[in-house]
Chain A
Amino acid sequence: RKEVEQDPGPFNVPEGATVAFNCTYSNSASQSFFWYRQDCRKEPKLLMSVYSSGNEDGRFTAQLNRASQYISLLIRDSKLSDSATYLCVVNFDRGSTLGRLYFGRGTQLTVWP
């Protein structure tokens, strides 16, 4: 079973649309959660961390449901520049081993004019 599962998409939406991505993780001991963004042929970059209470950064809202082991990312008022692959990322520590990140395959988003 994969540690982190995402719908790979692609999602194709018009400018101004609202789009939501979902992600599930397998390890209930996971401690930290993130969304990274990766543009075509570029490196991943942190978009936002995800907190238990949910958090918002401008047009982006992230939610975490620990009971269901589910993470979501909502993008409102989509812009052309939002076109990218969105990576769901989860961390958990294993005893004395320092925490490591587990990446999902990513969800591809294309915003069209």
Chain B
Amino acid sequence: ETGVTQTPRHLVMGMTNKKSLKCEQHLGHNAMYWYKQSAKKPLELMFVYNFKEQTENNSVPSRFSPECPNSSHLFLHLHTLQPEDSALYLCASSHLAGGNNEQFFGPGTRLTVL
């Protein structure tokens, strides 16, 4: 399925590296999301963009910096991460922001911080 794609699928980085995660949706949606999924924990919402505008930042540390240049693309820039940031990072999109809109998820980027 190619509705929501994410690259890279796997990433290993050191604490001093800078990297970016990319998400692209081909569904014509207007809202995009970043989630973090750690082992044994629920999905945690990180950021919400609606029509390219950030509408929610769920108290995410500044070492995570999102960017949404248009409604189809979403980036997550990573800088000086910590080992506890290792997790699966999932991108999602929906027609509009708002919980009653079905969210479609990408396959995720599995991040390991050494």
Contacts and interface: CB of A to CB of B under 8 A. Distances in A.
B is bound to A? yes
Interface of A: 2, 4, 31-32, 34, 42-46, 49, 87, 90-93, 97-106
Given A98-B48, A98-B55, A106 B42 contact: yes
A108 B97 CA distance: 29
A105 B40 contact: yes
Interface stretch (B12-20, B61-69, B104-112): B104-112
Contacts of B50: 98
B8 to A, nearest CB: 15
B90 interface: yes
B98 interface: yes
Interface string B92-105: 00000111101111
Contact of A103 (B43, B48, B102, B107): B43
B43 A46 contact: no
A104 B41 CA distance: 8
